[in-house]
Amino acid sequence: MVQPLNYLKETPSQTAGPYVHIGLTPNFCGIGGVYEVDLGSRMVNDQTRGERITVTGRVIDGAGMPLKDALVEIWQADASGLYNSPTEIRGAADPNFSGWGRCSTGAEDGVYRFETVKPGIVPFSRDRQMAPHITFWIVARGINVGLHTRMYFPDEAEANAADPLLMRIEHRHRVATLVAAGAAPNYVFDIHLQGEKETVFLDI
């Protein structure tokens, strides 16, 4: 006899809504007294090791307009290629580097900005490595599930050419959507949600 399986139903997905910034970046919204500074707004301090860089960009919709209410988070290795994570077993990451940042796109110009360090090379497998990169996560109204992507560096052409993820992109002209513009120390990474220049997003 077949038994009924009382699986819980999946909660319907929803867009991030207009309140995501209030909960995650209250100071950005003009709400003081919750956090001294918004979580993720400072990734480095005076003791942080590595090459200081600035990453700026916009989240652009299918009509070519920058979103002024998107939330962007980044996650990356430190300058030695180590992650600030309990699961990091290769060594101790820089204690003066958070490895994680969060920023809202500006209400006036739609630009996000991160002050960070250039990440080191990280392993993919025992005998393969990944090029220096920064992982991005984007949410905004109209996006049901947070979008994941990566930013690679234009001055790491040799490492990029051997990167396992970049090598798997079938339509080679789209690799450019994952490579920042500019040069050290100022990189620009625009994220296109739709259209001809749509950024490659990762299903993770």
> Is residue 87 domain-resident?
yes
Rounded Cα distance between 54 and 43, Å, is 11
The domain total for the chain is 1
Q: Can you list the residues of the chain whose pLDDT is less than 50?
A: none
> Is residue 171 domain-resident?
yes
In this predicted model, what pLDDT tens digit does every residue of 88-113 receive, in sequence order? 999 999 999 999 999 999 878 899 99
Q: What is the pTM of this model?
A: 0.89
The CATH number covering residue 32 comes to 2.60.130.10
> Is residue 101 domain-resident?
yes
Of the candidates 133, 165, 149, which has an alpha carbon nearest to the alpha carbon of residue 200? 149
- Please tell me the predicted confidence (pLDDT) of residue 184: 95
The upper half-sphere exposure of residue 85, i.e. CA atoms within 13 Å in the direction of its Cβ, equals 13
- Average pLDDT over all residues of the chain: 91
CB atoms within 10 A of CB 107: 11
> Is residue 3 domain-resident?
no
Residue type, 127: D
> Is residue 98 domain-resident?
yes
Question: What is the span of the domain harbouring residue 134?
Answer: 20-192
- Please tell me the predicted confidence (pLDDT) of residue 153: 98
Burial classification of residue 126, based on how many CB atoms lie within 10 Å of its CB (0-12 exposed, 13-18 middle, 19 or more buried): exposed
> Is residue 13 domain-resident?
no
Collapsing DSSP to helix, strand or coil, 158 comes out as helix
Rounded Cα distance between 171 and 45, Å, is 40
> Is residue 138 domain-resident?
yes
> Is residue 164 domain-resident?
yes
